Amino acid sequence: MERDLVEYIAKSLVDDPSGVTVNVIEQDKSTILELRVASDDIGKVIGKHGRIAKAMRTILSAASTASEKRVVLEILD
């Protein structure tokens, strides 16, 4: 569910939706989502002063409260 949410938001923001990939790494008490986008679109996903990235992390945190697992979003370039 969290993977689909991050993928949907990222594809909505970028110019090249085919360049969006989300890799899921499951751990004991946390889940790491690694988001990769095309190099031209990295600024659109991070936003000015990291505002978009922070908003994505906030939405992800709210969506994952039912699973009782910590979800971490990493934006890779």
- Domains in the chain, ordered, with CATH? 2-76 (3.30.300.20)
pLDDT for residue 67: 79
Mean pLDDT for 63-73 is 87
Q: How far is CA 34 from CA 21, 25, 73, in A?
A: 8, 8, 6
Q: pLDDT digit string (tens) for 31-65?
A: 999 999 999 999 999 999 999 999 999 999 998 88
**H or E element at residue 71:** strand 70-76
Residue 69 has pLDDT above 90, yes or no: no
Q: How much is the pTM?
A: 0.89
